[in-house]
Structure formats: C-alpha cells, structure tokens
Structure 1
C-alpha cells in the first residue's frame, strides 16, 4: 500500500488518480445570481484591502497572515460566521482510497465552511466552500491539486462543491461536480487589489454563503 500526502500531488497526478476533467467558465453569472454590495460592505472591503496592502508593501505575507488578514475578514463580511454555517480549520480529510490502485491519500484542508442545517446522505454536514491558502509569493495554482483532492472526498456525499485557492492577492474559484468523469470548472480569476474585482469577490462569497 502506497500512502501519499495531498500536498505533494501535482495537477497531473490528481487528474490521473481521480479522472477529473477541466473546464473553463468565463462568467460567474452562469452559476450564481450576484447581488450588489451595500455602501457599508464596500467600505469594510476597502479597509481590508488597505490593511492587507500595508503588509504586501513590507514584503512577503505568510500563509497564516493571508488567512488572518484577508480570508477571515472576507468570510465574516460575506456571512460565513453566522448559523447554520460552521467553519473548520486544519482538519484531516481521513483517507482517500484510489480504485484500481494500491494507493491511499491523506491530507489536511485549510478552511472548510459546512452547513449544520443540511446533511448529505451519509449524515455528514453539507460542504459549502473549501479554501486552500498560500503565502503571497506562491502561485495560487499550486494549491489546486490539494483543493481538488479534498473536494473529491466530498463528492462521495454530495453532487457539487465550491472551492477557492488564494494567496491573498489572487482568488481562483473552482466549481467541482460529481460525474463520470468528475468535472472542475475554473472560474474567472479575481485580483483582490483591484477594487472592481474585490467587489466581485465579495459578491461571489456572499452568494455561495446563501446557497
């Protein structure tokens, strides 16, 4: 039996092991009904930008700082801290066994938002959003293999799940669907330091939160 850590998998590994097919989606409106932000939300969003920009100007922002300075405030502003959603940090995914290969995969996801009011068929909480974060100098696509691996685990119990990989500056949303083969949709890339894209980011997070 070969045991692999999800952190060490490449995108090619993930596609081969799980059969994932990639698709590009050029608009969030194809999947989500986005609503305008309030003036208060825009002001708070600008404050998060300013706080983060100060750290970026000083140099590399660590993964932990990205979570604390940007991801956590954005999740709060989008409504993810309110019932029935529960946030889980740094939790093991258990083991994923790969069919037809003597392989088990282990790992820990960064952030998971799940609904305590909605259960899957296995009585597990319904996964709403899975987040993989990196430091500000790492390309966000390095987090994609881990994100897809953890999301694949959820597809045992639900038909789809949203994922997000970020380095604090860039935000790549991924819509992952159950199927034969399973499919992941890469959504438009959003830059948090550009105000129009930051607005888009918060709109997307708010809508996913309300799903």
Structure 2
C-alpha cells in the first residue's frame, strides 16, 4: 500500500512498476468532468466572479503568497461546493515537501503540497510555492499515491497550483487505471471557476450517492 509520508519520492514510473498503474485509454473512463448538468445559481456566479476578481488583484503584486491563494481561491470553491457541510468531512494530511532547480538562477526552489481529503473519497492537493516553479505534473504522482491507498473505488482528485486546476480519476476494480481532465486556468478568457464548481458539485453528488 502506498505510504503517504513518502509521497514526495513517488513518481509515475514507480507507481506503474509497483502497482501496475496504467493510463486509461477508453475515452469513456472519465466523463464525470465533461459538461456536468449542474446548476450554478446567480448568487454562486456572483461569488465566483468575486473570487476571480480577488485573484486578479492578488497577482498584481508578485510573488503570490501561497496562503493567500489558498484562502482566496480554494476555500471559497470548497464552500460553494458544499464540502464544509454534512455529510462531508474535510481532513488535512501531512504536507509533502517538493523542490526544483531554477534553470536561470541555478538555485533550489522549495515548496509544499498541502493535502485535504473529503470524506475519504475526494482528494484535494494544493501546490504551494512562492515562485511559479511547479506545474500540476508535480502533484499528479502524489495524488495518485494517496488515492491508491484508498479502498473506496473509484475515487477522484483535484490538483491545483494557484492558477491552474485539473481533476483526476482512479479506478482499481481490475487493473489500476487513471485519467485526468483538461487543465482549467484562471488566466483563460471568461471564468473557468464556473466549470470547476460544476464539476465539484457533480463529484459531491457521486460521493454522497455511494
């Protein structure tokens, strides 16, 4: 079973070797994120517009403070999706340390991945770093290592780095398989937080319905 404490050492190659993890090739494997029929109310639309406006204000004075991004973007999303209310329970996990080399400065950039689990079935991994050095690819192996240790199948994950978001699905019924959604960005035209909230609400219904 995957050990969460050692998650920072996990790579996709290791998960493939040790657990037989495969990328799902069937396009129907992960359709839950595609245009879910989920209602977003006018007050929620206003709240999401406010969240994006707050984010745009935050990035005017870089570097973005990671705690501020988490409070300004992630917390309102989880609230609007209903994850702070019964029957859900949010539990923090041990943060994972990550590091990368800045190719221009030649220095080591360190960050963390904060991990939240919602009712043992939906994993939220937030990459935290004072420099935009880490893409979502950094968090994907860690997310899958936590999800592989979860007996409830299928399970879902959301990984984010402050401005970009992607969803993950893992199913271990036969061979462990995973797939990801497209990347949603706060820099895209319009407000992709609306689609992100729709998907979170849809996943919430799936989790409750089990």
TM-score, structure 1 length as denominator?
0.75
SS in 2 for 1:84: coil
Q: Does 1:59 align with 2:62?
A: yes
Mapped partners of 2:191, 2:114: distance in 1: 29
In 1, Cα distance between equivalents of 2:166 and 2:65: 18
How far the C-alpha of 1:72 sits from its partner, in A, is: 1.1
Q: Give the match's secondary structure for 1:130.
A: strand
Which structure has more strand as a fraction of its residues? 1
Residue 198 (str. 1) matches residue 193 (str. 2): yes
Q: What residue in structure 1 maps to residue 146 of structure 2? A: 150
Task: Flag structure 1 segments of 5+ consecutive residues without an equivalent.
Answer: 93-107, 115-126
Shift of 1:61: 2.5
CA contact (8 A) 1:42 1:199 kept: yes
Question: 1:80·1:113 contact (CA, 8 Å) conserved in 2?
Answer: yes
State how far apart, in whole Å, the 2-side matches of 1:167 and 1:201 are: 14
Can you give the 5+ residue segments of structure 2 that lack an aligned partner in the other structure? 96-112
**How big is the shift at 1:29?**
8.5
How far does the alpha carbon of each residue in 1:147-177 deviate from its partner, in whole angstroms, 9 at most, with x for none? 00000000xx222101111012111100111
1:83 aligns with 2:78: no
Q: Measure how far apart 1:82 and its partner are.
A: 0.8
> 1:31, CA displacement in angstroms?
2.5
Bigger CA drift: 21-30 or 181-190?
21-30
| Superposed CA offset, 1:114-164 (max 9, x none) | 0xxxxxxxxxxxx2310111137120110011100000000xx22210111
In 2, Cα distance between equivalents of 1:128 and 1:202: 17
> Could you list the per-position Cα deviations for residues 13-54 of structure 1 after superposition, in whole angstroms to 9, with x for gaps in the alignment?
222222111136879993364313111111100111111222
Contact 2:114–2:127 at 8 Å: present in 1 too?
no
Aligned residues: 180
Change in Cα spacing, 1:29 to 1:44, as seen in structure 2 (3 Å) is: farther
RMSD: 2.6
TM-aligned CA distance change 1:179 to 1:78, over 3 Å: same
1:132–1:143 contact (8 Å) kept in structure 2: yes
Structure 1 residues 13, 179: CA separation in 2 closer, same or farther (over 3 Å shift)?
same
Q: Is 1:168 the equivalent of 2:152? A: no
My pick for the range that moved more, 174-183 or 41-50, is 174-183
Provide the C-alpha distance between the structure 2 equivalents of 1:178 and 1:171, rounded to a whole number of angstroms: 24
